[in-house]
């Protein structure tokens, strides 16, 4: 069933043309179901209503033994100092935050709510809560969790159903994804500069001085309103990828309101734009090397063996000069081929799909390349995109204070081409999106979560998007982090193996912290 793949890709990282510096997650596609109803005023009790139409549109049905309820809450656009700014951009105005609650009809000994964020930034927590409610046979949460917790997803401010940011045209997104991932000539590089400027100008014209209000610290304060809305005295939270940054920020702001946080696919909050981009280039290169080794050892399942690296590199190079045209007239340019590669590295199960797509492309059929790339981009068959990338830029760029010059980026493009040949140039050039972004910045805190209980930080040794090295750094920064390691491939770990699942479940349910240094085998 396609649901399993979609669930996993909801937890997959997004990296380059829209420029994620932190390793962020993307849903597989862009649903249009709305969570209807008026938002509850700030501080008031929310009005939950049944909403089976959300899983119906996302999956085609509700999960067995699950009920779904939705609501909206209003939060200040600018929390300011002490709970609400009285002056400045957004003063006196609110954003609406959409929530969905999945509750098992078999629930017993209820502990509270498990609040979910899939990352991105820009991924929908409402969608993810639905996907995870379908249970382990589809890549979702185990019954041990769904029978003790309500599963609560929320769309962060600016994302999907929550006062969404929308300022990038479908045409510009197509151009961005299709762009040469390594624009070698100065004119090609300048072309990407121009595209980044056009996108930034459009968003600046629409949102002006309110762009910084979409940053992570504001969203973390919204999470405390979510906690209050579900009626929990303390927050129990599962955050993936960028969701680990959101959770870490919450822990610093509200350490006394933390019950249990699982931060899976850890982001190092202390790394800046250049450092984070190089970290991802290194992580993707390492994951791609692992894919090529798998190919060489599994030639019967990998039609581009024995030299998968050469096959993929050749496909991208050919696409730069003579892209294959699909039946609908769409051209599989170098950018689309590159994003098919990116898409496939987030789960080990994607490796065979990538090999088959590259093999078919060589035969003149780009259909599978487009399928993989579109799943990553959230591009629908009609060419429409959700606001995921709009929100991604608004949030990432509000957070980021470092702005390397175009000359510095051009130099890094050359340097990283030598160190990380397939991914380095794209990650370097990708920094232009935030460099050319308008508006002020609102960086999140990067300190200890003094007074918080132990927080479990999960890392995967083969993670391409949030490389494993970031896991101990996040745990150390918080001061109360406990590292749990999965010696596996792909982005994020829970709940993929019994070892990881048992350790996380024991922590969420009984607050049993994993032993120091616990490592779980790949299988």
Indicate which residues carry an active-site annotation: 241, 463, 491
Burial 368-377 (b: 16+ CB within 10 A, else e): bbbebbbbbb
At which residue do the structure tokens 């090397």 appear? 289
- With contact defined as beta carbons under 8 Å apart, do 265 and 346 qualify? no
Rounded Cα distance between 109 and 68, Å, is 19
Q: Which of 462, 519, 513, 508 is nearest to 142 (CA)?
A: 508
User: Within a 10 A sphere around the Cβ of 327, how many other Cβ atoms?
Assistant: 8
- With contact defined as beta carbons under 8 Å apart, do 183 and 335 qualify? no
- With contact defined as beta carbons under 8 Å apart, do 434 and 398 qualify? no
Rounded Cα distance between 136 and 130, Å, is 13
3-state secondary structure of 168: coil
Q: Which of 340, 13, 312 is nearest to 332 (CA)?
A: 340
Burial 448-487 (b: 16+ CB within 10 A, else e): ebeebbbbbbbbbbbbbbbbbbbbbbbbebbbbbbbbbbb
């Amino acid at each position: 069933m396609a649901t399993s793949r979609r669930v996993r890709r909801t937890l997959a990282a997004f990296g380059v043309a829209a420029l994620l510096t932190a390793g962020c997650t993307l849903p597989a596609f862009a649903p249009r179901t709305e969570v209807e109803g008026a938002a509850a005023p700030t501080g008031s009790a929310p009005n939950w209503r049944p909403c089976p139409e959300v899983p119906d549109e996302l999956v085609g049905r509700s999960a067995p033994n699950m009920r779904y309820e939705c609501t909206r809450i209003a939060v200040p656009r600018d929390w300011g100092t002490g709970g609400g700014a009285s002056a400045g951009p957004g003063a006196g105005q609110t954003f609406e935050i959409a929530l969905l609650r999945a509750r098992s009809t078999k629930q017993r000994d209820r502990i509270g709510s498990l609040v979910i964020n899939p990352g991105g930034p820009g991924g929908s927590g409402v969608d993810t809560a639905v996907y995870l409610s379908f249970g382990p046979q589809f890549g979702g949460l185990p019954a041990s969790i769904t029978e003790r917790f309500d599963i609560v997803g929320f769309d962060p401010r600016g994302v999907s159903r929550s006062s969404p940011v929308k300022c990038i045209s479908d045409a510009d997104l197509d151009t961005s994804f299709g762009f040469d991932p390594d624009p070698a000539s100065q004119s090609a590089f300048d072309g990407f500069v121009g595209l980044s400027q056009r996108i930034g100008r459009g968003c600046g014209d629409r949102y002006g001085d309110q762009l910084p209000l979409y940053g992570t610290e504001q969203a973390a304060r919204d999470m405390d309103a979510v906690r209050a809305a579900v009626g929990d005295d303390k927050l129990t939270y599962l955050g993936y990828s960028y969701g680990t940054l959101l959770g870490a920020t919450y822990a610093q702001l509200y350490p006394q309101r933390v019950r249990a946080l699982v931060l899976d696919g850890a982001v190092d909050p202390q790394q800046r734009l250049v450092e984070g981009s190089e970290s991802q280039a290194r992580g993707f290169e390492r994951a791609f090397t692992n894919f090529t080794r798998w190919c060489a050892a599994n030639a019967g399942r990998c039609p581009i063996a024995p030299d998968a690296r050469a096959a993929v590199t050749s496909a991208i190079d050919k696409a730069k000069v003579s892209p294959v045209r699909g039946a609908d007239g769409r051209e599989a340019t170098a950018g689309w081929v590159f994003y098919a590669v990116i898409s496939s590295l987030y789960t080990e199960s994607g490796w065979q799909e990538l090999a088959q797509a590259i093999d078919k492309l060589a035969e003149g059929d780009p259909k599978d390349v487009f399928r993989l790339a579109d799943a990553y981009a959230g591009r629908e068959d009609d060419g429409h995109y959700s606001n995921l990338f709009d929100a991604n830029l608004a949030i990432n760029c509000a957070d980021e204070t470092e702005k390397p010059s175009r000359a510095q980026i051009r130099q890094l493009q050359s340097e990283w081409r030598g160190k990380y040949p397939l991914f380095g140039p794209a990650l370097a050039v990708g920094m232009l999106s935030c460099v050319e972004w308008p508006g002020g910045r609102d960086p999140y805190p990067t300190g200890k979560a003094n007074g918080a209980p132990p927080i479990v930080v999960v890392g995967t040794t083969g993670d391409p998007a949030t490389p494993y090295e970031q896991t101990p750094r996040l745990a150390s920064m918080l001061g109360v982090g406990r590292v749990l390691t999965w010696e596996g491939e792909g982005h994020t770990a829970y709940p993929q193996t019994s070892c990881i699942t048992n350790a996380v479940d024991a922590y969420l349910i009984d607050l049993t912290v994993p032993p120091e240094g616990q490592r779980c085998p790949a299988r």
